Amino acid sequence: MADFRTLEEAEGLKGKRVLVRVDFNVPMEDGRITDDSRIRAALPTIHYLSLAGAKVVLLAHFDRPRGRREETMSLRPVVEPLSNLLEQPVAFSTDCVGAVARKVVQGLEEGGVALLENLRFHAGEEANDPAFADKLASLGDVYVDDSFSTAHRAHASTEAIARRLPSFAGLAMQAELEALDSALGHPQRPVIGIVGGSKVSTKLDLLRNLVTKLDKLAIGGGMANTFLYAQGHDVGSSMCEKDLAETAREIIGLAGKNNCKLFLPLDIVVAERLAAGVPARVRGLGALDEDEKILDAGPETIARLKRAIDNSATLIWNGPLGVFEVPPFDKATVECARHAAKLAEAGKLVAIAGGGDTVAALHHAGVASEFTYVSNAGGAFLEWMEGRKLPGVEALRGR
């Protein structure tokens, strides 16, 4: 973490106006928050700054108003839940720049907290407009980015503003960066990756990067079908991107050149249709009927993957191994997740996971809290795994 400035390095915060980029793009129904996980994730940083006597000014976006004021996309509904969680009042500004915002910020006492209106009501936010960034920066003395989930976009509140003020990673951002560094930057070896999901086409850059970084890589889910097809196996009526067979063979070759052992299914679970409780059968590779679909990995594949995890020091996981949402096709994902979680709890494995489907799958298995770290960052997590530089992260590097 020496490459990134953290809150431990921020001195003299008392009385300072600290602009904090948070991710409050929370799910809502009828103006009410249905999942406050992202708000809770920001609480440690807000508490830290408030206790230090800073005037805490929260910057966030909600939905996609595309540079126009849309009252249905206001952040006002966040104020009361945030205030309740913080156990202190939260001021609200009906704009994120200009005289209205300036008045709210000036009215804050030391330790006070304010939330500014949706950044994306202004086109300058997503355009990373210098003039808009100047207006934001004028409201603060210090900038803290606590939103890794938005760090993959070069927006005014994530990149440009960090170039204008003393800037630091918030506690949630720091935890994310440290976890990712422990998975891909400076991991304990051997390192095994599990990558699943439906389509190879959405994870080509990810696979190409991982086979150059990992010691072992297991490929599952619908994307494994494309690799099986590329190796000459019949996949019946399964989801399969047959036009990417040559690409799959290239990735297999790249793994070999980089001494990354590739794990593909040894056996499969199939059914004629995807529905809960349908008759499911275990088949050997290529031994399925033309109307059967591959919907999960089989018991031999599960056992081998468990052994591979046992012989690893670090696991990084993105994507389920089967159609986990529809039992009984959740078995491979659930069994391997619980196995990894048990090792992580015992201190025998650093287990890091991320991506929307992955998080949902771990919750389904009941082990999300037992992994070493679970990222909710989605796109930013994937881009980091692909080896890309994230603008919001790069802006926090020590200068």
Residue range 327-352, pLDDT digits in tens? 999 999 999 999 999 999 999 999 99
- Residues labelled as active-site residues: 38, 199, 356, 379
**Contact assessment for residue 22 and residue 71, using Cβ atoms and an 8 Å cutoff:** no
Alpha helix locations (H) across the chain? 37-51, 76-86, 98-106, 123-126, 130-137, 171-180, 204-210, 222-230, 245-257, 299-310, 331-345, 356-365, 379-385, 391-394
pLDDT at position 276: 87
Asked if the model's pLDDT at residue 189 lies above 90, the reply is: yes
**Contact assessment for residue 49 and residue 144, using Cβ atoms and an 8 Å cutoff:** yes
Q: What is the pTM of this model?
A: 0.88
Mean model confidence pLDDT for the chain:
94
- For residue 356, how many C-alpha atoms fall within 13 Å in the half-sphere facing its CB? 4
- For the chain, domains (ranges, CATH) are 7-173 (3.40.50.1260), 187-385 (3.40.50.1260)
pLDDT at position 48: 98
Asked if the model's pLDDT at residue 2 lies above 80, the reply is: no
Mean pLDDT across the stretch 172-181?
92
Asked if the model's pLDDT at residue 399 lies above 70, the reply is: no
Residue at 227: amino acid letter = F
When pLDDT is cut at 50, 70 and 90, the band that residue 268 belongs to is very high
pLDDT at position 334: 98
CA pair distance 307, 269, nearest whole angstrom: 20
Segment 351-389, tens digit of pLDDT: 999 987 899 999 999 999 999 999 988 788 888 888 888
Segment 301-328, tens digit of pLDDT: 999 999 999 999 999 999 999 999 999 9
pLDDT at position 206: 92
pLDDT at position 199: 87
pLDDT at position 254: 97
Through-space distance between the first and last CA atoms of the chain, rounded to whole angstroms: 14
Asked if the model's pLDDT at residue 59 lies above 60, the reply is: yes
Mean pLDDT across the stretch 162-188?
92
Q: Tell me the β-bridge partners of 142.
A: 18
In this structure, how many other beta carbons lie within 10 angstroms of the beta carbon of residue 150? 24
Q: 73-100 burial string, b = 16+ CB within 10 Å, else e?
A: bbbebbbebbbebbeeebbbbebbbeee
CA pair distance 91, 222, nearest whole angstrom: 48
Mean pLDDT across the stretch 99-118?
98
When pLDDT is cut at 50, 70 and 90, the band that residue 1 belongs to is very low
Asked if the model's pLDDT at residue 263 lies above 80, the reply is: yes
Pairing of strands 90-93, 113-116: parallel
When pLDDT is cut at 50, 70 and 90, the band that residue 177 belongs to is very high
Three-class SS of residue 297?
Answer: strand
CA-wise closest residue to 282 among 270, 295, 266: 270
Mean pLDDT across the stretch 200-226?
94
Segment 61-94, tens digit of pLDDT: 999 999 999 999 999 999 999 999 999 999 999 9
Asked if the model's pLDDT at residue 260 lies above 90, the reply is: yes
pLDDT at position 398: 62
DSSP state for residue 265 in the 8-state scheme? -
pLDDT at position 242: 95
Share of the chain above pLDDT 90, in %: 85
Asked if the model's pLDDT at residue 294 lies above 50, the reply is: yes
CA-wise closest residue to 127 among 97, 163, 158, 154: 154
Q: Which long-range contacts (CB under 8 A, 24 or more apart) does 173-179 make?
A: 173/145, 173/146, 173/147, 173/148, 173/396, 174/1, 174/4, 174/6, 174/7, 175/373, 176/148, 176/373, 176/375, 176/377, 177/1, 177/4, 177/148, 177/393, 178/1, 179/352, 179/372, 179/373, 179/375
